[in-house]
Structure 1
Amino acid sequence: MATFALLQHYIEYITSPTVLLTILLLVGPILYTVRLERSIAARTITPSVIPGCRSLGLTGRSNLSGQHEQHSSSNDGGPHVKALFTYPIKSCRGVELAAAEVESTGLKYDRLLTFAQLVSKPDPGQDKNSSGISEPSEEWQHQWRFITMREHPKLALVRTELWVPDSRGRATNVNGQGDNDLQVPATKPRTRSRTRGSTLIGQLEKGRKASIRPASEDWAAQGGCLMVRFPFEPDFNPLGLRTEEVTIMLPLTPTPERAEAKNYTTEDLSIWKDNPQAVNVTNEIDKLALDNLRYFLGVSNPLALFRVNPQQQRAVTRCLPTDRPKEDFKVGFADAFPVNILGLASVRATDAQLPPNADVKGKLDARRFRANIYVSGIEAFGEDTWKKITVGRRIGRDKDGLYECDAEYHVACRTARCKLPNVDPDTGVKDRNEPYTTLGKTRKVDKGAYPHPCLGMQTIPLFERGMVRVGDAIQVLESGEHYYEKMFD
């Protein structure tokens, strides 16, 4: 009886308001600090070192950091490249670059991979019963279908890092500079004449030779590494203390031996109206990490990761250059065209048109539109009438060897917009209305795209290999009106 009374007295003591307040004041700040540190760690890409590889990407201040500032086109040096982005995994966070190698299918590494979910539906075919009468089939069709931020906005929080082989064995950027010295000087407008023995060609050739490394240096031997990170938070997570950052490492150019060891398979993948055969590389991902990613994204069906199959690239069939009727143009996992260009003044003008009560008013981020090349030095929507441009350098080969000249792009059409830009790239939260609602009121400027609004331009490189840098001048060779050819009838 005495023990019970003592226990009751103890419980009353520790549950008294004074004691509870004391505990809260002492323990609360400690728990908050732990949670804050974990939160910061989950949001920050921790610098990594991968032996034999160098980091390919801009660190520190983004070239879009001053995107909301008004610039006069007459004082901004004419149209030029303000920022460059490549998106290694479709709909995931991109990698900002100071310079990018460009291929006929787009920026190197752009939309190289995509996540997909397995979708099942009844087979529309018919079977015949014992009486010879046709009846609906009881079979099911199973199809891998790509996923995007349209339906899974948290893809915006899946971050990517590119690490490419480096013969020097130390972490540097694409230009061979230190990680904190990544700015590429603005270049002067170049003539269309060809030059030989240039530094640019030498850099590209040196980079390719450096990629050939012994198999013992694992990631270098696999063409480099794509590092993928996302924050995972379980259901029971008091004060956020159990939030962790999950890291996935993927080879950029896997060898045949790795493909066999990891049991890669080739399967049909649905991307809009196309069903190319793509390489299923899901076995590269640890099962627990894949389960956590599926939970994080809110995907209810089986989840897989696919890589572009070079032998099964999708054909570009719309808005083609009329002066090259016999050429075939290809694209990887981008929606329809290889390279997307967007003027920053067009984003600022759209921001100005947003309603005063819009949450994003005054801070509309150009990254929402996921362009590859962001352009400065032009008026709002000035890119709407471009038909053919040059930007950066083309690397070619003839009987005399390698040469370089201005890189030409066919500006195929305007970019028809969906609600994907409603997703905040920093939070992965999708706004119900903006900026899509405002675009729907102000940017239905192409009868072919109706009822979709348009912002930005889709382009096709008219070369096999080239380079573009931040600061490169853009020359408009041809202008005219566009009429969007729809993907679906």
Structure 2
Amino acid sequence: MVSWPTPPLIRNVRIPTHPEYALIGLFIPLLVYFWRQRSRSTVSTIITRIFVHPIKSCRGTSVPAWEYTPEGLKHDRTFVIVDKNTHKTITAREIPKNRRDSQGTDTRNSFSKRNYYWRCKDILGTSRRGCQELDKVSEHNNCFSYSDESRLDDIQIWSHTTDGYICESLEQGGLDPSGALSKYLERDVLLIRKGPTTRHLKPTAAFPALQGSAVFQDGYPILVASEESLVDVQTKLSLSAAGVEGWKINGVAGEWTGELVMERFRPNVVVEGAGKPYAEEEWEEISFTTTERSGRASSEYGRMLLVSRCTRCQLPNIEPSTGIQHKHVPYKVLAKYRRVDPARPYTPCFGVNAVPQESGVYRVGDTVHVRRFAAAGKLPEKEVIVKN
């Protein structure tokens, strides 16, 4: 055994040999790793907002609680508006920017929201007396009728083809949903409800064996974003608006005075409390707990895989309350510093795509628990560009 000199203030202590030093050298990094994992997982993060968008590319509705399944929030993107002849999906970008509603507020025969961003509850109100707020509607087929004869099998969702049913009014002789939409948009369209054919999810770099399905979402069932990430974008936007060196963008500097709201990014579940922006990109699996009246936390529920970053097109440039599109905000601001996905190096990212692993109810105020973090240097990679 090799003898090592003992420090002056230490007596009767055997100093480890070289092999023992090696074991300690391996053990300490493991302790540090587990301590960091435990510290990160105990940060109090909660759900602050929940948004459901029953009609693809239409304005969503904020709800305090909502059911979910492995295909996403119940009724989220269950409907889509397509061209009557081509059956191709119609998005907000295809509607003229100067299109405005001038038919009053009678939601039984017209739509009271500007441009393409109607509230879905207004659309539901056109079909049947008694269909009120979206969060009071238990099933969409209480409002719409559809049959096998109305099924189409060539509905085009970007590169995908799937099936759906043409929605019809339950009122005899009443204006059907497709007719109401066509009248409002001044073009022939159909309101389609998703059919039974499964739309399988694409695997991602982080989840090469990913299983699951979606309805009319572009890629994955749920989009998760954080309040901290939104604040970060708002901060960078303020720098651009002020013309700060390195952040100046023509058309933004000295001109932008508006507010950037989360609704532009069309998330489903918004969280807060992780302590830094884009923390959601470091999560690979999360779950939730509800604080019961007794003050005790419920058992964990709602296990969710965060499978990829969400790369963005320019649709968030549309202000949802007015339908007016800005040429640069927030897309060009994001493009300055959020092109962080190796799979899409020229496209900015905001939010994370997620896949629920069970069914249940999400509630605002529920606590988020990080069950597993993404491997260092291998953050989720995106496979499709979100366009809705």
Aligned residue for 1:82, secondary structure, equals strand
Contact 1:294–1:303 (Cα < 8 Å) also in 2: yes
Cα shift at 1:93: 1.8
Q: Distance in 2 between matches of 1:163 and 1:118?
A: 18
Deviations 1:180-233 (A, max 9, x none): xxxxxxxxxxxxxxxxxxxxxxxxxxxxxxxxxxxxxx979xxx84779xxxxx
CA–CA distance in 2 between the matches of 1:360 and 1:284?
46
Q: Which residue of 1 aligns with 2:88?
A: 145
| 1:392-448 deviation digits (Å, cap 9, x = unpaired) | 58xxxxxxxxx9742211101000100010000110001111100111111001110
One-letter amino acid of the structure 2 residue matched with residue 422 of structure 1: N
**Contact 1:319–1:413 (8 Å) recurs in 2:** yes
Task: Write out aligned runs for 1:19-168 (5 A).
Answer: 78-118=44-84, 143-152=86-95, 156-161=116-121
CA distance in structure 2 between the aligned counterparts of 1:112 and 1:81, rounded to whole angstroms: 23
Q: 1:147, 1:485 → 2: CA distance?
A: 23
The yes-or-no answer on 1:265 pairing with 2:208 is no
Q: 1:265 is matched by which residue type in structure 2?
A: R
Match of 1:252 among 140, 156, 164: 140
Aligned counterparts of 1:392 and 1:106: Cα–Cα separation in 2: 18
Report the counterpart of residue 270 of structure 2 in structure 1.
374
Structure 2 CA distance for partners of 1:322 and 1:91, relative to 1, 3 Å? closer
Out of 230, 234, 244, the residue aligned to residue 347 of structure 1 is 230
Q: Mark the CA change 1:259 to 1:381 in structure 2 (over 3 Å): closer, same or farther.
A: closer
| Paired residues of 2:286 and 2:371 also in contact (CA < 8 A) | yes
Structure 2 unmatched runs, 5+: 1-39, 98-113, 243-251, 291-297
Q: Partner residue of 2:21? A: none
Cα gap change, 1:404 to 1:105, in 2 (>3 Å): farther
The answer on whether the counterparts of 1:86 and 1:107 sit within 8 Å (CA) in structure 2 is yes
Q: Write out aligned runs for 1:179-194 (5 A).
A: none
Deviations 1:220-251 (A, max 9, x none): 9xxx84779xxxxxxxxxxxxxxxxxxxx997
**Paired residues of 1:445 and 1:454 also in contact (CA < 8 A):** yes
Given the superposition, is the C-alpha separation of residues 472 and 162 from structure 1 closer, same or farther in structure 2, using an over 3 Å criterion? farther
Q: In the aligned structure 2, how far is the partner of 1:106 from the partner of 1:250?
A: 16
The alpha-carbon deviation at position 487 of structure 1 amounts to 3.5
TM-score (normalizing by structure 1): 0.54
Shift of 1:469: 0.5
Alignment CA distance shift 1:406-1:158 (3 Å): same
- Which amino acid is 2:220 matched to? F
Kindly indicate whether residue 199 of structure 2 is the aligned counterpart of residue 314 of structure 1. Answer: yes
**Whole-angstrom CA distance in 1 between matches of 2:143 and 2:92:** 31
Q: Aligned to 2:241, which of 344, 348, 356?
A: 356
> Does 1:466 find its partner at 2:360?
yes
Letter in 2 for 1:421: P
1:347/1:255 CA distance change after superposition, 3 Å: closer
Distance in 2 (CA, whole Å) between partners of 1:351 and 1:341 is 18
Could you tell me whether the CA contact under 8 Å between 1:315 and 1:331 is conserved in 2? yes
SS at match of 1:418: coil
Alignment of structure 1 residues 394-433 onto 2, 5 Å: 405-433=300-328
Q: Displacement of 1:332 after TM fit?
A: 0.6
Distance (Å, rounded) in 2 between the aligned partners of 1:417 and 1:373:
17
Q: Distance in 1 between matches of 2:170 and 2:79?
A: 13
CA distance, structure 1, for counterparts of residue 213 and residue 326 of structure 2: 33
Inter-partner Cα distance in structure 2 for 1:227 and 1:99: 14
Asked whether the 8 Å contact 1:341–1:458 carries over to 2, the reply is: yes
| Distance of aligned partners of 1:116 and 1:226 in 2 relative to their CA distance in 1, 3 Å threshold | farther
Q: Please report how far the alpha carbon of residue 159 of structure 1 lies from its aligned counterpart in structure 2 after TM superposition.
A: 1.2
Tell me: CA distance 1:287–1:407, structure 2 relative to 1, closer, same or farther (3 Å).
closer
Post-superposition Cα deviations, 1:29-72, rounded to whole Å, max 9, x if no partner, equal: xxxxxxxxxxxxxxxxxxxxxxxxxxxxxxxxxxxxxxxxxxxx
1:163 Cα offset (Å): 12
Taking only aligned residues, the RMSD between alpha carbons, in angstroms, comes to 3.6
Q: 1:118 to 1:482 in 2, by over 3 A?
A: farther
Give 3-state SS (helix, strand or coil) of 1:440's partner.
helix
Q: Distance in 2 between matches of 1:406 and 1:289?
A: 37
Contact 1:416 1:452 in 2 (8 A): yes
Q: Would the alpha carbon gap of residues 346 and 219 (structure 1) be closer, same or farther in structure 2, given more than 3 Å must change? A: same
State whether residues 287 and 300 of structure 2, in contact with CA within 8 Å, keep that contact through their aligned partners in structure 1: no
Per-residue CA deviations over 1:87-121 (Å, capped at 9, x if unaligned) read: 111111212111111101001111111111145xx
Larger radius of gyration: 1
Preserved contact between residue 318 and residue 485 of structure 1 (Cα < 8 Å): no
CA distance, structure 2, for counterparts of residue 447 and residue 94 of structure 1? 30
Q: 1:430 to 1:250 in 2, by over 3 A?
A: farther
1:479 has 2:386 as partner = no
- Count of residue pairs brought into register by the alignment: 298
Unaligned runs of 5+ in 1: 1-73, 120-142, 165-217, 229-248, 394-402
1:330 aligns with 2:290: no
Question: Per the alignment, do residues 150 and 476 of structure 1 end up closer, same or farther by CA in structure 2, a change over 3 Å counting?
Answer: farther
Q: Do the aligned partners of 2:53 and 2:76 also contact (CA within 8 Å) in 1?
A: yes
Structure 1 or 2: larger strand share? 1
